[in-house]
Structure 1
């Protein structure tokens, strides 16, 4: 009897969920029957509030009247328990009294800011990323907001594109795992709980492959690349239960995503059986006119609603045009009803029909926002996000017995830049700079010296003399260089991604003092800093780490936290290599090494290899990989192979290692990548400790989309690779997949 209890429990839960869903569907039916066509169209309309705008605002002095008239289904950029209650009260004056959904771009934290998403991805810690989204959801929900426009799950292989900071990097497998974790974090135990908000997987689809890395530009790719590289993270978001999707600004094979029925209807709603709703990106329905895909907003509205775009964010295309399109029999009422049903379903699931104000609780808001527990979570996430790129001669960790430390660089005392792009501004934000973090760590025991040296984008070196004088007085120089928070993000595409201005010249001047130099690079994307990488003994990539940035950096600098981050994106040597990524397709003329260039797939003036590879990151300790064993030399098509090896911490510090499993299909019906990440484990080991690590390989890990876009595995030869980075394989072995 005991054996069957779990199954019985699962069946009971499934029946309960089914019954609840059926109950909601009946309620939706009853509401739809009472609604006029104009009221239905109103549910498909979203306006912005008057703050935190994330796009061009259309002036509308009649917003409250439109809400009262039932012409609105949602608002974005309305936040706070008091403000959301006041606006919701207006919606309750409408004939149908259908509550509004309030949405906001909660990208990496609400009141407490977490590291930017790309930095979090560098942690390779799925539980920590889920918790970061969980904290953000609790704070957001406590402020009366029901919906975040996150996570961004676009695969990004071009660091010129400013929005790389908002995603999980270049890898499909890692990106899919992170997409799943973040959706679970935002939505918690399920919609309707007072600490859960609706997630929104964006941007559907392939936005991260914008041509030339230029935001809003076209995307042109094969269906094979679309299915194999760019769609899996979205499917992971569906599997995680993402409440909503957002379509993208770009065209795909000549069709704007907003009006792309193949994406929104054929794939998302039909093939994947998605029951949530799709919101346009800001103004993207109306922008199909600028694309030259629609003659005017009326035609744009027709194309978008037919293609499966359910809610119009700020383009004002649906409200004035859909009723006429229905009257002219160009759009069916059934299509309108389907979109409205999807939106009403989420309002019922959130519990807003039972109590429209249930999230607008000022007492709960006061208790939740900026709590010590939330800031502790931000600190932990920030520590995990730091990547140690170089540590020659064990310059790090620094001794706490140093007498004088010079903090040099334009970001040394910056607070606001630590928050990063796509964050919510607050008065008295309590952001911790690097300088303040060091002061918090060291107290009065160590004297902190400071000189800015230059501004971020300076061409002048007039501040160098002061910086040199200050540096010469110190035992060690800690430099803070990189980007300001407005240099990476939406509409922040760049052709030059070198460290801006004369900052690298400032680094050279500090290195010339003969003092030990530690460089901290703060940015929202991979930057290029070749001289620094080649000449400075210690380098950490600290991204933009959020509210507790300075404390996290201080903890890592002094060894109270041993860095374990690994790069989620490849760092190029030069912009001419872009796009550059580790899992490129095999070529008929591969270069065997960086010197093998004659009639090979290679550059004449630069190695093929990146400056820092995907998966790369050092620790204060060292790790040894040994004794690789496979449970069998062959894998049957419906079986599995257990892969095990011994991981040992061979250094003197306790530390974490991200062991990475890569596979290569040597011969297939379509050309395969040289290697693909298929699994990883983040393992904590005490100094001297060993642990047996096991991975499982099955048919799913060997599967891919063939020429007919059918998913499956082909019998044949495979190479298994295990290492500490994509370019640092420690163990490898071949095996065969057989029928």
Structure 2
């Protein structure tokens, strides 16, 4: 009897405890009910805290005793921090999460965020290079691996993908995007969001962040943090589509841009954040500032002071404040003054809390902070294999005179490998390598020695780390080359000049490297240029002195293996450019989807009084969509299902693609459209579809494309969709320049 009474008492106590448990801590309750319960319990200061993101650092060991770190810990205990960036690793994130959930009043878990741009520990090609693969499935897979490694390190949120369209290789951040085309940029944006996020229902995916909203890729002069001044027609048709694709793919967050649009900083731009993102697109996630961008509205001349900056950011619809602390400092005061309403604040905080519940952090705040899983997940052989596949497909063959490539790896070939960057692992990587390590990567020299084990490979620096050279270095390189059958020269830019705050007025091959190539050319040996860079460079100066140009970008962990795969022909290069390569710096910006002028330059005849340069061609050195292979492809018999098309009735396009060479390989067949007359002038070509096709030697395939109303649509300056009848051209080919064409009309 006594045991029964004790048991009854224990059960009653357990029931009492459950009854006293706040609803927001009940894992079985609906998320919305839990959020509503929590919001009722929060003070204005705690709500402001959820919209406050701070730069973290180290919170374990001696570093945790730093006064700055102690202040952040104290703010976390007070519920004044909702998220940290730059706190990484299962141990570090667990330590700080413990403060939030066990030492604060309400125990609201933190979000940990980080810039994971092209991999976390296993580093993939930079996004611009990866986009040159045109392999959307691989792009999504790469993002999923980056997410898996980041999540295993305790992260919940990554600041990618960058969806900015840019025509300007002077801007260092072109490396983060997918190039110059809004359609292709949209396809890639959606793939990256899907790869990063999955369904956000496990500990292997993270929240994505579409950035930089909006039009940051159009900064004047290609200068970082500079002004943007574009028409609303350009905004809607060229710059907004990739952001929209990322939002449609389910991106949890969107990041403000640093720039102004229509004279208003993006962080306080109601048209961008409220009218477009929330109302027109129905975005349900939350908006985060870029680093200190709320506070920088003061410097722009838009906000009078920090309090005014907080008000204008929140009034526009922006939500989480990265590092400027204006929201946590002034939101309670703005509420008291009636400048913002509690409903607005609750709506903003609700969005942040939703994802904390969605990720399961209220029920298991440490689910992402598992040291054993971190060790087992990061930098695995399987991940490196995918990084190698991605790097193989990202390389673009721009020139291959007399078929100097590929080089038979089985033969005993004397190879001179020249160029400091070929051996320097530190220069193989850019600013955004997350927690990757240069020493873990495979250099070009290492990859070549492994692949060409039967060959005699000799190495010479040729130039200094900054790209300059001198007589002694060049003489030594020439002496090395004289004993070789083929000379491979790695030139370009160090990866340290790629990324944020790395704008260049002259993105070209250095004078020292050009002098080196001239001297090597004089030996009469076949010269292969490997060009490493985080952007398209002006290659005109080196064209006469090299037999082949292999654009190797910044390829990540598996750089050396991928370069050797392509040079040997074990991988037949298939990459296609996603930015036009300028003929000269003065030609920038140069891009394929430009508009006709009233005086376009004709192919022949009288060239006077036309829109042209007197000293260089109008056309880029290499056009958008261009890339060679070790085989050849022929396009023929372009056919349309009809010469006219009715709205709602798709038009079928067919073309024969034949591998006319001796090697199997991939070709990226591209379809472009031009509307000849419209109420708003349309580009001379606009990419609307592509297919990446693998063909054996001699194999022929009939490729089918479908043109729908959406492919013929365009936006006006307010984002209204127009589909107008009239004459159209359709183009199909292997790049934006070399195409077949047919005419049709939309009735």
Task: Output the TM-score relative to the length of structure 1.
Answer: 0.94
Residue 36 (str. 1) matches residue 43 (str. 2):
yes
Aligned mate of 1:245, from 226, 238, 254: 254
Contact 2:154 2:370 in 1 (8 A): yes
CA contact (8 A) 1:530 1:573 kept: yes
How far apart, in 2, do the equivalents of 1:707 and 1:420 lie?
37
| Distance of 1:198 and 1:496 partners within structure 2 | 36
The aligned counterpart of 1:4 is: none
Unaligned runs of 5+ in 2: 1-26, 60-65
1:524 and 2:534 aligned: yes
CA distance in 2, matches of 1:586, 1:612: 20
Do the aligned residues in 2 keep the contact of 1:432 with 1:550 (CA within 8 Å)? yes
Moved more, 142-151 or 421-430: 421-430
Match of 2:231 among 213, 222, 230: 222
Alignment correspondent of 1:474: 484
- Confirm whether residue 510 of structure 1 aligns to residue 520 of structure 2: yes
Distance 1:428 1:437 in 2: 15
Match of 2:5 in 1: none
CA contact (8 A) 2:80 2:328 kept: yes
- 2:498 and 2:727 map into 1 onto residues whose CA distance is 42
Larger Rg: 2
Q: State yes or no: 1:610 paired with 2:620.
A: yes
Q: Answer yes or no: is 1:592 the counterpart of 2:602.
A: yes
Does the 8 A contact of 1:594 with 1:608 survive in 2? no
CA contact (8 A) 2:212 2:256 kept: yes
Question: Which of 50, 53, 57 is the aligned partner of 2:57?
Answer: 50
In structure 1, distance between residues paired with 2:170 and 2:437? 32
Residues in 2 aligned to 1:21 and 1:267: alpha-carbon distance in whole angstroms = 35
Task: Measure the CA separation in 1 of the matches of 2:469 and 2:550.
Answer: 25
Unpaired runs of 5+ residues, structure 1, are 1-19
| Cα distance in 2 for residues equivalent to 1:484 and 1:324 | 49
* 1:660 aligned counterpart, secondary structure: strand
Call closer, same or farther: CA 1:103–1:596 in 2, change over 3 Å.
farther
Whole-Å Cα distance in 2 between the matches of residues 280 and 412 of structure 1?
Answer: 39
What residue number does 2:726 align with? 716
Counting only pairs closer than 5 Å after superposition, residues 450-599 of structure 1 correspond to structure 2 as: 450-455=459-464, 456-458=466-468, 460-593=470-603, 597-599=607-609
* Between 346-355 and 592-601, the greater mean CA deviation after superposition: 592-601
Q: Report how far residue 26 of structure 1 moved.
A: 1.5
- Separation (CA, whole Å) in 2 of partners of 1:152 and 1:708: 24
Retained in 1: the 8 A contact 2:120–2:435?
no
SS in 2 for 1:304: helix
Question: What's the offset of the Cα at 1:582?
Answer: 0.3
Q: Which runs of 4+ in 1 moved over 4 A?
A: 57-61, 425-428
Output the CA distance in 2 between the equivalents of 1:42 and 1:597.
64
| RMSD between aligned residues | 1.7
Which residue number in structure 2 is paired with residue 135 of structure 1?
A: 145
From 302, 324, 335, the counterpart of 2:311: 302
Determine whether 1:97 maps to 2:104.
no
Cα distance in structure 2, aligned partners of 1:420 and 1:542 = 14
The residue that corresponds to 2:674 in the other structure is: 664
> Which residue in 2 is equivalent to 1:283?
292
- In structure 2, what is the equivalent of residue 676 of structure 1? 686
Gap change, CA 1:428 and 1:704, over 3 Å in 2: closer
Which residue of structure 1 aligns with residue 370 of structure 2? Answer: 361
Q: What is the Cα deviation at residue 424 of structure 1? A: 2.2
Whole-Å separation in 2 of the counterparts to 1:594 and 1:609: 14
| Inter-partner Cα distance in structure 1 for 2:510 and 2:126 | 20
Distance 1:493 1:276 in 2: 32
CA 419–97 in structure 1, closer or farther in 2 if over 3 Å, else same? same
Contact 1:453 1:461 in 2 (8 A): no
Residue 392 of structure 1 pairs with residue 419 of structure 2? no
Deviations 1:445-503 (A, max 9, x none): 21210100111332534311111111111111111111111112101111111113411
Aligned mate of 2:331, from 316, 322, 325:
322
Question: CA distance change for structure 1 residues 247 and 714 in 2, over 3 Å: closer, same or farther?
Answer: same
Pair 1:638–1:497, CA change in 2 (3 A): same
Query: What does the per-residue CA deviation read over 1:608-667, in whole Å, with 9 as the maximum and x for residues that have no partner?
Result: 011111000000000011111111111111111111111110000000000000000011
1:735 corresponds to = 744
Aligned length: 712
Number of the residue aligned with 2:86: 77
The CA deviation at 1:326 is 1.1
1:374 and 2:388 equivalent?
A: no
Cα distance between partner residues in 2 of 1:672 and 1:293: 34
Structure 1, 393-402 or 705-714: larger mean CA deviation:
705-714
| Contact residue 117 and residue 434 of structure 2 kept, 8 A | no
Whether the aligned pair in 1 keeps the contact of 2:422 and 2:445 (CA below 8 Å) is: yes
1:507 deviates by 1.1
Q: Distance in 1 between matches of 2:47 and 2:738?
A: 57
